Amino acid sequence: MNFSDIIGQTKVVESLKNSIVNNMVSHAYIFEGPEGIGKQTMASIFAAALTCEKGQAEPCGTCRNCIKNESNNHPDVKVIEGSASSIGVDVIRELQKDMYIKPYEAGRKIYIIPRADRMTVQAQNGLLKILEEPPEYGVIILTTINSSLLLNTILSRTILVRFKTHPYKEIEDFLRKEYLELTDEIPFLVMLSGGIIGRAKDIAASQEFRDMRRDIIEIITKLLNHSELDILEAVNYFNDHKNMIESILDLLLLWFRDILFIKELHNENMVINIDMLGRLKEFSRRVSSRAACKIIDIIIDIKKKISMNANYTLAIETMLIQSWEEVHGNSSRSAV
């Protein structure tokens, strides 16, 4: 990949390319932005450009260094992972030892630290020592969702690069190009992405998620048209998909959030389940705003209980029964 493959982030790309062309590359960067925004991809492309034998703003893709970067096998470009939950001081000490060994093949040595906010305070202080006296060939790239999670002393010695969410039009254009078979669902995928291209890609590529969404909408529809006993049969579905319960509950929350946008704000442009607008309108005609608000509270409460290891089946049964009661308990009132 090269910079031209990046969707959006035009200002970030231009800034990094100019730093290469003008020989103004810093010894340390922080790439800040939401998960899935493309920070890691950008860091990899920047590292490839910095080690490319052609010395241009874009990695050529054909030289020995670029080929090794493409296969994640370049000895002078290293990704520092640590454990799943933290990066300890020993990892940073190893980085320091390695950095002071001159590059093996390229003119620079690049160290990428994903989710750098996982560094312990001791590790951050260890990194600070490197930032205070970096070798001229060393470049460190930290990625994080929030730079304020890092020590101020680190922030003062790095260049902060902020990644912005993508315009929905850019995400829509990408999805329509790459996922032609999802034409009807693309508006929903765009809204659900929240302007984050990585999230849009993950959802579009997951047939399991899209199937689950359709199943959940059918269960929601049963709240209107079936008896309380029929609703309880849906517990089996929740039990069979226990490993995806967080996503299931989020989909339920989004549905009732959309109901409120239609009923209270009369704003269809903010609806996330936009491809299901017809069903949403039918639902909103038969469910009061009060019931929708109450069901949202019920779902949020169940999410908390499940996260605290409450009895799972009982929690789901409670959620379904209480939601059914809210829908039908207010059916005789005007849907206001």
pLDDT tens digits, 167-201: 989 999 999 999 988 888 898 898 888 899 988 99
Contact call for residues 203 and 306 (beta carbons, < 8 A): no
62-83 mean pLDDT: 94
pLDDT at residue number 228: 67
Model confidence at 5, in pLDDT bands (50, 70, 90)?
Answer: confident
Task: Tell me: pLDDT of 292 over 60.
Answer: yes
pLDDT at residue number 336: 39
H/E run at residue 280: helix 277-286
**Residue 208 neighbours by CB distance under 10 Å:** 11
Residue 226 or residue 33, greater confidence: 33
**DSSP label at 87?**
B
pLDDT at residue number 70: 93
Model confidence at 328, in pLDDT bands (50, 70, 90)?
Answer: confident
Provide long-range contacts, Cβ within 8 A and 24+ apart, for 301-306.
302/249, 303/246, 303/249, 306/245, 306/249
Task: Tell me: pLDDT of 247 over 60.
Answer: yes
Task: Tell me: pLDDT of 331 over 50.
Answer: no
Q: How far apart are CA 157 and CA 151, in angstroms?
A: 10
pLDDT at residue number 333: 41
53-60 mean pLDDT: 92
Q: Are strands 77-79 and 138-144 parallel, antiparallel or unpaired?
A: unpaired
Q: How far apart are CA 7 and CA 36, in angstroms?
A: 12
Q: How far apart are CA 327 and CA 312, in angstroms?
A: 23
- Domains (ranges, CATH) in the chain? 3-162 (3.40.50.300), 206-329 (1.20.272.10)
Q: How far apart are CA 305 and CA 324, in angstroms?
A: 19
pLDDT at residue number 194: 86
Task: Tell me: pLDDT of 266 over 90.
Answer: no
Buried-state track 60-84, b at ≥16 Cβ within 10 A, e below 16: beebebbebbeeeebebbbebebee
Angle at 182 between CA 180 and CA 186, to 5 degrees: 105
**DSSP label at 164?**
P
309-320 mean pLDDT: 92
pLDDT at residue number 335: 41
Q: How many residues are listed for the chain in this entry?
A: 336
H/E run at residue 214: helix 207-225
- What does the pLDDT look like over 128-154, one tens digit per residue? 999 999 999 999 999 999 999 999 999
